[in-house]
Structure 1
Amino acid sequence: MAGGASGGARGGTRGRTGGRRMPRAVREQQMMDAAVRTFGQRGYRAASMDEIAELAGVSKPLVYLYLHSKEELFTACIRREAQALLAAVERAVEPGLSADRQLWAGLTAFFAYAAEHPDAWSVLHRQARSHGEPFALEVAAMRDEIVAFVAVLLEAAAREAGSPGPPGERDIAGLAQALVGAAESLAAWVNESGTVSAKEAAATLMNFAWVGLGDLIKGERWSPH
């Protein structure tokens, strides 16, 4: 199979860039880009390796040679997109900011990533969770990392507030779970609506989480300014 795959890659201009063969790492990313797009738009079960290979501009044997089975390819896509989402959120949060500004920055980055990468979002929050335990566990691991990250921000907020009775570890964990769950649901709604920006979504959740439902109904609002 390896010989056939290499021959297929050499057999035309698709396997070359400027007269030279494309490096393996670059080719793998190209295949995974095609896979994320196909899985995200077609769904895991409906997507085929033929479609992915055609979109990537390579032969199907080459996809199998580099990325093995459909299941392994899907798992690799989940891991790559999960790492990218986590990195986007972590990059956005500057340690020197106040706790509320850090949370605002993280939420804005989260919603922006979901909106700017709809196929990746579909892979992570639709396909992976509905096609078996191995895939769902990969997404659960990513979610646990986000929850832990949010918990750190909430602990910092409690310290900033200087409350004589700050929430305990269990309360912080519960609040972090609730906030991440709300962000996931809101991101799905934002992507489906197509009319709400990442900043608008982040403001909605900041008002709900930071100001509180009771004060929000009374007209109070949180502002990044």
Structure 2
Amino acid sequence: MPRAMREQQMLDAAVQTFGQRGYRAASMDEIAELAGVSKPLVYLYLNSKEDLFTACIRRESAALVAAVRAAVDPGLPADRQLWEGLTAFFGHTTEHPDAWAVLHRQARTHGEPFAAEVAVMRDEIVAFVTGLIGVAARESLGDGELADKDVAGLAQALVGAAESLAGWANDTPGVSAREAAATLMNFAWEGLGNLMKGQRWSPSAR
């Protein structure tokens, strides 16, 4: 088997083991057995447990970002772009629950350098969503009506909500990717729709 294919086989086994057992509980013996290779071969290819976990984070981060980007047609209206992006995001996290567990739970709870690796992926998704909200604001309100910091803050909130909802959807039987996407779309876009019309909520408003 070519080295690249063998390495992917090891990463597949590692993602499954880390996702289901957790980083600390997972052993290189388990991963090697699941991959059908010897433990020395895993070390030869991927150096250490830390390097193996980092490689899993990088691969799964790239796959998630690529899935979201590929689903969005820039020629569509902003709400349709966001819908397609959310559907792709939840579709990917639903189809790859172990990978999402690695990214959302394991990597973030075991400190550096793992948290920094996930932050790179999150920053890329936030930047992508920021662009979508910015386009929607310009189309609806014109330049300058919605400050850059407002757009950036909305993107952070939307991505954070998507991350939490993905974890909940994966733990809740019977929740489909489209249902999760529709839940967030109804929650977020309806509010954004009013904002794009210049209607802002204020604690002093009656």
* TM-score, with length taken from structure 1: 0.83
Distance 2:46 2:118 in 1: 20
2:40 counterpart of 1:61: yes
Q: Which amino acid aligns with 1:160?
A: E
2:9 counterpart of 1:30: yes
1:74 alignment partner, one of 48, 53, 69: 53
The aligned residue for residue 42 of structure 1 is 21
Alignment of 1:64-213 (within 5 A): 64-163=43-142, 166-212=145-191
Q: Which amino acid aligns with 1:154?
A: I
Distance 2:153 2:107 in 1: 24
Distance 2:188 2:149 in 1: 17
Distance 2:74 2:123 in 1: 21
Moved over 6 A (4+): none
Distance 2:106 2:180 in 1: 23
Distance 1:214 1:158 in 2: 10
Two-structure CA RMSD over aligned residues (Å): 1.5
Measured after TM superposition, the shift of residue 129 of structure 1 is 0.6
Q: Which amino acid aligns with 1:152?
A: G
Measured after TM superposition, the shift of residue 197 of structure 1 is 1.0
Q: Which amino acid aligns with 1:25?
A: A
Measured after TM superposition, the shift of residue 165 of structure 1 is 5.1
Distance 1:86 1:179 in 2: 16
Q: Which amino acid aligns with 1:206?
A: M
- Give the structure with higher Rg (CA): 1
Q: Which amino acid aligns with 2:66?
A: A
Distance 2:116 2:110 in 1: 11
Measured after TM superposition, the shift of residue 204 of structure 1 is 1.0
The aligned residue for residue 199 of structure 2 is none
Unaligned runs of 5+ in 1: 1-21, 216-225
Distance 1:213 1:147, change over 3 A: closer
Measured after TM superposition, the shift of residue 164 of structure 1 is 6.9
Provide the aligned length of Structure 1 versus Structure 2: 194
Distance 2:193 2:52 in 1: 47
Distance 1:194 1:183 in 2: 18
Distance 2:193 2:121 in 1: 32
SS in 1 for 2:100: helix
Percent sequence identity over matched residues? 77
Measured after TM superposition, the shift of residue 54 of structure 1 is 0.4
